[in-house]
Amino acid sequence: MSPAAHTAPQEASMPLTAGSTAAGFAWAITRDLTLALRHPGETLLVVAFFVLVASLFPLGVGADPQLLTRIGPGVIWVCALLAAFLSLPALFATDYADGTLEQMALSPHPMVSWVGGKVAAHWLVSGLPLTVLSPLLGLQYGLQADTLGTLALALALGTPVLSLLGAACTALALGARGGGMLLAILALPLFVPVLIFGAGAAEAQAAGLSASPHLSLLAAGLIVAAMALPFAVCTALRIALD
């Protein structure tokens, strides 16, 4: 990606006077979504990766329908987790490398506003397509219709938490040695609770139990993460830009 292509025209129209939370959020989300639309190949790579890895499992473990129904929700969740993780570097690292991030930190908008906008854009580009595609992959694994619905709902609640946690980890690791491996060691353990409750929801549904306890815990996790983590991301970015 060339530096020129990476600078979206919205930056020029960024108001230089009064900063506001809403304006900062809207500016950041528009900029990142525009960048994603200008590079549809990169955006689709995440989706292609998700579908490809999920399709490898039946080839690896054997195509026994009962086994596939049993492991389906868990496999789809692990694939979603890896796809969310692999798209993390695009969130801050490119902007950090070319100095855009420092310019954003100097903008009049509160930092948490444009950080929130960037994380929301990351979810719209990575988490949302996976959620929408998950019923299709669930069909590959022979899941029942109600399990498919629960799986999609759990992904809709869980993937924003992954984006928020991942944003905090990638901000902490900006400029660190050991790049991708370090990010994996930081982010994947923190993703574990989301994986357990997310996969648990669909498995409970498939076993004829109620999925609502898992979904409630996921929703509670999402609320806590959305309230606390944007501020943690801001602290991490301030440490990185210091």
Partner 1 sequence: MNWFFFSSPPTFYRLAGWMAPMFFISAAVLTAAGLYTGFVVAPTDAQQGEVYRIIFIHVPAAWMSMFLYFVMACYGAASLTFNTRLSAMMARAIAPTGALFTVLALWSGAFWGRPTWGTYWAWDARMTSELVLLFLYVGFIALANAFEDPRRGDRASALLAIIGLVNLPIIYFSVKWWNTLHQGSSVSFKGTSMHTAMLWGMLLMALACWAYAIGAALVRVRSIILVREARARWVREIAA
* Contacting residues toward partner 1, per CB under 8 A: 168-169, 172-173, 175-178, 182, 185-186, 188-190, 192-193, 196, 232, 235-236, 239-240, 242
The residue among 101 and 133 lying less far from partner 1, judged by its C-beta, is: 101
| Chain centre to alpha carbon of residue 97 | 21
Smaller CB separation from partner 1, 47 or 196: 196
Q: What is the C-alpha separation between 225 and 165, in angstroms, rounded?
A: 8
Residue 195: is it exposed, middle or buried by C-beta count within 10 angstroms (0-12/13-18/19+)?
Answer: middle
In the complex, least distance from residue 82 CB atom to partner 1, rounded to whole angstroms: 16
Assess contact for 28 and 114: CB atoms under 8 A.
Answer: yes
Contact (CB, 8 A) for 79 and 151: no
Q: Which is nearer to partner 1, 136 or 176 (CB)?
A: 176
Cα 186 from Cα 200, distance rounded (Å)? 23
In the complex, what is the shortest distance from the CB of residue 179 to partner 1, in angstroms, rounded to a whole number?
9
Tokens encoding 79: 């694939």
Minimum CB separation from partner 1 for residue 147, in Å?
A: 21
Q: Of the two residues 157 and 237, which places its CB atom closer to partner 1 in the complex?
A: 237
**Least Å from the CB of residue 161 to partner 1:** 12
